[in-house]
């Protein structure tokens, strides 16, 4: 119990490896959200957009689709970078 602060911090802040399937799970989740947002946008009719009270759901769907699309692009770019750097090391 009489350990110093430094060993305690070293143990508390030691790196943790993420699960091997984390990238796959995140990709699937982002794709699912993206598809749901696109489906929500497909269901809206332009005639209903005349009333500003109807803008909330489509605006949220656009934001969700944009954010998940950007997340997927970044995730896939990171995966490609990891594959390339892994190929160069071997």
Q: Give the start-to-end residue ranges of the domains of the chain.
A: 20-89
* Residues across the chain: 90
pTM exceeding the 0.75 threshold for the entire prediction: no
For the cut 60, the answer to whether the pLDDT of residue 90 exceeds it is no
> What digits encode the pLDDT tens for the residues 37-77?
988 888 877 777 788 888 888 889 899 999 999 999 999 99
Largest separation between any pair of C-alpha atoms in the chain: 72
Helix (H, G, I), strand (E, B) or coil at 55: coil
Tokens of 40: 């929500």
Q: Tell how many helices (H) and how many strands (E) occur in the chain.
A: 3, 0
Among the listed residues 58, 60, 64, the one whose alpha carbon sits nearest the alpha carbon of residue 33: 64
Mean pLDDT for the chain?
85
């Amino acid at each position: 119990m009489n350990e110093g602060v430094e060993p305690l911090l070293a143990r508390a802040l030691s790196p943790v490896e993420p699960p091997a399937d984390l990238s796959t799970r995140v990709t699937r989740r982002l794709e699912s959200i993206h598809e749901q947002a696109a489906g929500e946008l497909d269901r809206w009719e332009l005639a209903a957009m005349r009333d500003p009270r109807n803008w909330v759901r489509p605006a949220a769907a656009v934001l969700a689709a944009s954010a998940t699309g950007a997340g997927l692009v970044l995730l896939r770019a990171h995966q490609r970078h990891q594959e390339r750097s892994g190929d160069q090391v071997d």
